[in-house]
Amino acid sequence: MIPRRKSRSMTAAQRTSLTILVAALGYFVDIFDLQLFALLRVSSLKSLGLSPEDITRIGAQLVNWQMAGFLIGGVVWGIIGDKKGRVLVLFGTILLYSLSNIANAFVTTIPAYAAARFFTGMGLAGEVGAGVTLLSELLPKEKRGYATTIMIGCGVLGPVVASIAAEAMDWRIAYIAGGVLGLLLLGLRIAVNESGMFSNLHKHQKVARGSFLMLFNKPKRLARYLCCIGCALPIWFLAGVLVTFTPEVGVALGAIEPLKTSSAVITYSVGLALGCFISGLLSQLMQSRKKIMGLFILALAIIDGFILTSHGIAANTYYGLICLGGFGIGYWAVFLTATAEQFGTNLRATATTTAANFVRGSLLLDMLLIGALKPTYGFLNGLIITAAIGFVIAAIALWKLPETFDRDLDFIER
């Protein structure tokens, strides 16, 4: 009997390890594509015949279409995750992402490119929320922070590979490679088991599952949800604006040499991976989500301030500061874990997935605000004002957010 028990125990451990690996690879593909578009934005739009003046404008529009896909997909996949299961979302998202990413390689017009980016964003929208939700429910509360940290920390190395692919391949081939990578990952997901907490929801037949409106029908629950989103707003300003539009930021700062997005992506990714691991480990050691997020938000505010006031900056200095900024936004791992811990099993995937994608979608608001401020205050001052607003909101949201480190996640929302 003893060997048989040992065998079953090892099998369970192996399945848990496989789930962590699959979730990490899924997020790897997620971030790979996000930064792949940032890297291929200029070359792909040049290939489609756009002038240098139009590349920034059309590139921003494509980012907006992608973010719209994230927003809609976040709601759709979040609801599916709570109604039909976390594993189903992991299958559906990677399939839609892969096919849409391959479609990017065959676009010949801007409307077709916009449609491809929209569906790619929609496909990617469920990855991180479903993965974090599944891992949070599979592991005991003492270890779930480590699991989500491994998932996010390994996943954010995707941009490094994206940078290599963008440099080594034609832009169309790079998109195809990303899609094939996703299809290969699809096969691994067959062995992933569903969360026991979700499977037990059938015992509560009268409890609503995956109701997006439930996030808004009680003031206290709505406040928790808005605080989750608010505390992560500075993350996507750096990732979506300062990294994606590195050449334009360099011009605004009067950089002494042209700045390259590919170099910024690599340094940012290295910093982000390190920041995710460190923030997750510190959160476990200090037994607090809020304290770590507060420290990292403060550090990020200082770094963003240096970046946006460094007139005449050298390229290596900019990339170094972007690396530090990547480290600063490493609290993304803790933010996702804390969001999953805030909500009951019947609403957890909806809340976590939509919150993550609304944070990403805040880039739409950032771009609109920067565009509105530019005619009066200039591009650089528009960036500074937009960043400052995000940090003020984050500070207030974090102050109001409940601590959840020791929370038992086996509960439901009514």
* Residue 206, pLDDT score: 79
For 191-215, the DSSP string reads: GPPPPHHHHGGGG-TTS--S-GGGG
Q: What is the DSSP string of 267-300?
A: HHHHHHHHHHHHHHHHHHHHT-SHHHHHHHHHHH
- The amino acid that residue 203 corresponds to is K
CB atoms within 10 A of CB 274: 16
At 10 the pLDDT is 47
Q: Which two tokens mark 7?
A: 């065998």
Round to whole Å and give the CA distance between 297 and 235. 9
Write down the pLDDT at residue 96: 94
**Nearest one of 121, 126, 328 to 234, comparing CA atoms:** 328
Output the pTM of the full model: 0.89
- 3-class secondary-structure state, position 408: coil
Q: Which two tokens stand for residue 197?
A: 């907490």
| Residue 151: closest CA among 139, 135, 140 | 135
How confident is the model at residue 289, as a pLDDT?
96
pLDDT at position 31, please?
A: 82
CA dist 28 and 356 (Å) reads 15
Structural domain spans, the chain: 14-189+211-400
Distance between CA 246 and CA 251 in Å, rounded? Answer: 9
d(CA 285, CA 198) in angstroms, rounded, equals 28
- The helix/strand/coil state of 253 is helix
- The H or E element containing residue 243 is none
Q: pLDDT under 50 in the chain at which residues? A: 1-10
What is the predicted pLDDT for the residue at 4?
44
N residues, the chain: 414
What is residue 52's predicted lDDT score, i.e. its pLDDT? Answer: 82
**HSE, side-chain direction, 13 A CA sphere, residue 83:** 10
- pLDDT confidence of residue 11: 66
pLDDT of residue 253: 97
| Residue that the structure tokens 């990403």 belong to | 360
Q: What is the CATH number of domain 14-189+211-400?
A: 1.20.1250.20
